[in-house]
Structure formats: structure tokens, C-alpha cells
Structure 1
Amino acid sequence: MLLMEKVAKLNRQNETFALAMIIESKGSTPRHVGKMIVYRDGSIEGTVGGGLAEHYIIEESVKALEKGQSKIVEYKLNRHAKDGIQMSCGGTLRVFIEVYQSRPELILAGAGHLAHALSKLADFLEIPYSVVDDRVGYATKERFPNATNIFVNEDIGEALREANPNEKSYVVIVTKDGDDIVLKTALQYPIAYVGMVASKRKTITILQKLKSEGMSEELLERVSSPIGLDISSETTQEIAISIIGEIIKVSKETKPIKVKQLNR
């Protein structure tokens, strides 16, 4: 498989990686043309010439992935030059490191009016999403034609387990009931985000219940509720926009998810 074919495949699979590409080469360098895929763990596919320069480029690529920002790096391959690296080639390399970040993958726990509005926004933004519910009549392909998957089970907690959330999953709880079951289940997975539509009083009650059942404070602090950016939203569509806005904001942050104050 050609390297750029692999880049396209990784992008379709919604993976996070960087593409390091030589954009300028002056003088004597190991390679004048080269591309290299760099993963978050520092493993690579392809090459930009090997040696110490490639080692530094890998390091910079991993840093760029951590920050989520593309960048250009330049190296003087001359141990005697000011700011040069310990190589004897004598030339100069400029490399563009392009970061490809995975998009949020929504799991809509609930298939009612708000979930439907969220799915329309997800379609517009090309955000993949799955739907989880305990009602066969609501969680249908007709209502959610572009859903990656639809999971229906009379035990909504089991339906969420079937969705198998992972570190890319942004779980949005908009169920008609059973919020505590869905939340407890969601927090058992290494998800990126979990938000719940609920009043402040209901949120406090559910969190206290889960705490009394032995769930740690650290896990409960990951819950975003009330959910959504504070834009004074009232209609279903406005609430959906506030929720998607919050998810976009959280997905761009490089720090761990912070606790949202319950008295917001």
C-alpha cells in the first residue's frame, strides 16, 4: 500500500496520527523527498531519511499530536553550525508536520426529539454517531438514516455495552428515563466525554445515588451536567446546538476533562 493510500485509510478510520513531509531540502541531506506517518506512540511508517534528523522529527511529531497543532520544523545537519544537530551532511531540511486528529464519535443514548436534532447536526458536521435506546419504534434507520450503528435492547445499559464505547466516544445521555443506568454504564468505559440532559436537582440526585453505590468521586467528576454551552437555549434545536458546541470545545482541549459545576 502506498503511503498516501495509508493516510487516506487512517483518516477514513478516524485515527489520530501525523504526516511528516519534507518540503524543502538544501545542500547535502539523507533525502530530498520523503514522507512518514507518525503515531502517538512514536512508531512510524515511511521515512524522511533516517538518522538523527528523523529521530528529532519523530519527537516533534509526537509533541504536535499531543498539542493537536500542525507545525513546520527545520534542521541544520551540521554539527559545527550554530543551532545545528550532530550530523555531518551539511545541508538543511524543512519538514511540515501535519496533524490528523480523530473526530468525536457520538453515542446518543436516547432516540427522542433531542437525539434526532443532534443527529441532524452531526450529519451536517460529518461527525459519526451511533444511537442507543430501549424503544424499537424510536431507534430506527428511518429516523437515523446516517447512524453508524443502532443498538436497541429493553435493558438500555446493555444496549450501551453493545455500542462498546472507547476513548473516542462522546456519550450524550438524552433518555426518557434510566439516566442513572446509562451513566453508570458509560463511566465503566475509557470514554472521552459523558454529558447528561437533566435538571440541576436531578443531576445531584443521580450523582449522589451512584456515589452511594460505590462509584468513585474521580469518575463522577467526569460527568458534564447540565449539558451544553450556556447560550440561553430553549428550543430543542437550540439545546442541540449548545450540546454539539460543548462537544466540539471539549474535543479541541488538550487537558483532561474538567469538572462542571453543578450549580451552573
Structure 2
Amino acid sequence: MLLMEKVALLTRQNETFALAMIIESKGSTPRHVGKMIVYRDGTIEGTIGGGLAEHFIIEDSVKAIQNGQSKIVEYKLNNQAKDGIQMNCGGTLRVFIEIYTSRPELVIAGAGHLGYALAKLADFLEYPYCIVDDRMGYCTKERFPNATHLFVNEDIGKAIFAANLNEKSYVVIVTKDGDDMVLKAALQFPIAYVGMVASKRKVIRIFEKLKSEGVTQEQLEQVHSPIGLEMGSETTEEIAISIISEIIKVSKEKKPIKVKQLNG
């Protein structure tokens, strides 16, 4: 597979990575052209010449991924030059490190009016999303034609487990009931975000129940409820916008929820 074909594949798979490309070279350098993919753990595909220069480029690419910002870096391959690296080539490389950041993957628990409005916004933003519900009549391909998956089970806790949550999952709980089961299941995974629509009284009741079942206070403090940014939202569509706005904000912070394995 050609390198740029792999870039296209990784983009379709919604992966986070960097593409490092030589954009200028002067004097003696290991290579004058080259590209390589750098992953978050520092592994690579392709090469821009190997050696110490490539080592520095990998380090800078990993840092750029962590910061979520593309950048141009310059390397002096001369151990005698100020700010040079320990190489004898004597030339200079300029490299563009382009960051490809994964989009939030929404897990919309609840196929009712608010879930439907959230799905429409996800369509507009081109965010991948799946729908979780316990009602066969609501959770359908006709209602959510662009959903990547539909998870339906009379036991909604089992349905959320089937969604295979991960660090890219942004779980939005807008169910008619079963909020506690969905939240308990979601907190057993290193997800990026979980928010729940509920009154203050209901939140207190659910939190007390989950604490009695082994969920920690630290985990519960990471639950967004009331859900969404405070913007005076009233209609279903306005509430959906406030929720998506909060998800966009949280997605820039990139802090997965801490998990604790629970029984049941």
C-alpha cells in the first residue's frame, strides 16, 4: 500500500496520527524528499532518511500530536552549528508535520427526540455516531440512516456494552429511562466524555445508587450533568446544540475518564 493510501485509510478509520514531510533541504542531507506516518506511540511507516534526524522528527511529531497542532520544524544536521544536532552531513532540513486528529465518536443512548436532534447535528459535523436504545421501533436505520451502528436490546445496559466503548467515545445519555444502567456501563470504559440529561434530584439519586455499587466519587465527578454548555437552551434543537458545543470543548482537552472494573 502506498503511503498516501494509508493516510487516506487512517483518515477513514478516524485515527489520530502525524504525517511528516520534507518540504525543503539545503546542502548534504540523508534525503531531499520523503514522507512518513508517525503514530502516537512513536512507531512509524515510511521514512525520511533514518538516523538521528529521523529520531528528532519522530519526537517532534509525537509532541505535535499531543498538542493537536501542525507545525514546521527545521533541523541543522551539523554538530558544529549552534542548535545543530550531532550529525556530520552539514545540511539543513525543513519538515512539515501535519496532524490528523480523530473526530469525536458519539454514542447516543436514547433514540427519542433529543437523540434524533443530536444525530442530525452529528451528520452536519460529519461526526461518526451510533445509537443505543431498548426500543426496536425507535432505533431503526430509517430513522438514523447515517448511524455507523444501531444497538438495540430490551436490557439497555447490554446494548451499551455492545457498543464497545473506547477512548474516542463521547457518550450522551438521553434515554427515557435506564440512565443508571447506561452510566454504570459507560464508566467501566476509558471514554472521552459522558453526559446525562437529568434533573438535579435524579442525578443525586443515580449517583448514590452507583456509589453503593462500587463507582467511585472521582468517576462520578467526571459526569457532565446538567449536560451541555449553559446558554439558556429551551427547545430540543437548542439543547442538542449546547450538548454538541460541550463535546467540541471537551474534545480539545483529550482527558479520558478514569475507570474501575465493576461487577455486574
The normalised TM-score by structure 1 is 0.96
1:25 Cα deviation after fit: 0.4
Q: Contact conserved, 2:190 with 2:257, CA < 8 A, in 1?
A: no
Query: Would you say 1:202 and 2:237 are equivalent positions?
Result: no
After TM superposition, the structure 1 = structure 2 runs for residues 237-252 of structure 1, keeping only pairs within 5 Å, are: 237-252=237-252
Q: What CA deviation, in whole Å up to 9, does each residue of 1:145-175 have, x standing for no partner?
A: 1000001100000011111111111000000
Q: Which residue of structure 2 aligns with residue 77 of structure 1? A: 77
Letter of the structure 2 residue corresponding to residue 118 of structure 1? L
Q: What CA deviation, in whole Å up to 9, does each residue of 1:24-68 have, x standing for no partner?
A: 101110000000100011000001111111000000001011111
1:204 Cα deviation after fit: 1.7
Distance 2:98 2:199 in 1: 42
Letter of the structure 2 residue corresponding to residue 39 of structure 1? Y
Aligned-residue RMSD, C-alpha: 1.2
Letter of the structure 1 residue corresponding to residue 64 of structure 2? A
Q: Mark the runs of 5 or more structure 1 residues left unpaired by the alignment.
A: 259-264
- 4+ long deviations beyond 3 Å: 254-258
Q: Contact conserved, 1:250 with 1:257, CA < 8 A, in 2?
A: no
Distance 1:41 1:30 in 2: 24
1:254 Cα deviation after fit: 4.1
Q: Which residue of structure 1 aligns with residue 88 of structure 2? A: 88
1:202 Cα deviation after fit: 1.2
Distance 2:199 2:26 in 1: 62
Query: Would you say 1:157 and 2:157 are equivalent positions?
Result: yes
1:257 Cα deviation after fit: 6.4
Q: Mark the runs of 5 or more structure 2 residues left unpaired by the alignment.
A: 259-264
Query: Would you say 1:174 and 2:174 are equivalent positions?
Result: yes
Q: Which residue of structure 1 aligns with residue 19 of structure 2? A: 19
Q: Which residue of structure 2 aligns with residue 67 of structure 1? A: 67
- The aligned length equals 258
Distance 1:147 1:194 in 2: 19
Q: Which residue of structure 1 aligns with residue 236 of structure 2? A: 236
Distance 2:57 2:185 in 1: 41
After TM superposition, the structure 1 = structure 2 runs for residues 219-234 of structure 1, keeping only pairs within 5 Å, are: 219-234=219-234
Q: Which residue of structure 2 aligns with residue 48 of structure 1? A: 48
Distance 1:72 1:222 in 2: 36
Q: Contact conserved, 2:31 with 2:49, CA < 8 A, in 1?
A: yes
SS in structure 2 at match of 1:223: coil
The normalised TM-score by structure 2 is 0.96
1:239 Cα deviation after fit: 0.2
SS in structure 2 at match of 1:73: strand
Q: Which residue of structure 1 aligns with residue 184 of structure 2? A: 184
Query: Would you say 1:122 and 2:122 are equivalent positions?
Result: yes
Q: Contact conserved, 2:18 with 2:38, CA < 8 A, in 1?
A: yes
Distance 2:119 2:256 in 1: 26
Q: Contact conserved, 1:68 with 1:254, CA < 8 A, in 2?
A: no
1:255 Cα deviation after fit: 4.8
Q: Contact conserved, 2:192 with 2:255, CA < 8 A, in 1?
A: no
Distance 1:229 1:159 in 2: 27
Q: Contact conserved, 2:34 with 2:47, CA < 8 A, in 1?
A: yes
Letter of the structure 2 residue corresponding to residue 141 of structure 1? K
After TM superposition, the structure 1 = structure 2 runs for residues 97-116 of structure 1, keeping only pairs within 5 Å, are: 97-116=97-116
Q: Contact conserved, 2:109 with 2:174, CA < 8 A, in 1?
A: yes
Q: What CA deviation, in whole Å up to 9, does each residue of 1:166-185 have, x standing for no partner?
A: 11110000000110011001
Distance 2:204 2:232 in 1: 21
1:213 Cα deviation after fit: 1.7
Letter of the structure 1 residue corresponding to residue 186 of structure 2? A
Letter of the structure 2 residue corresponding to residue 143 of structure 1? R
1:256 Cα deviation after fit: 5.6
Distance 2:222 2:245 in 1: 18
Distance 1:214 1:132 in 2: 24
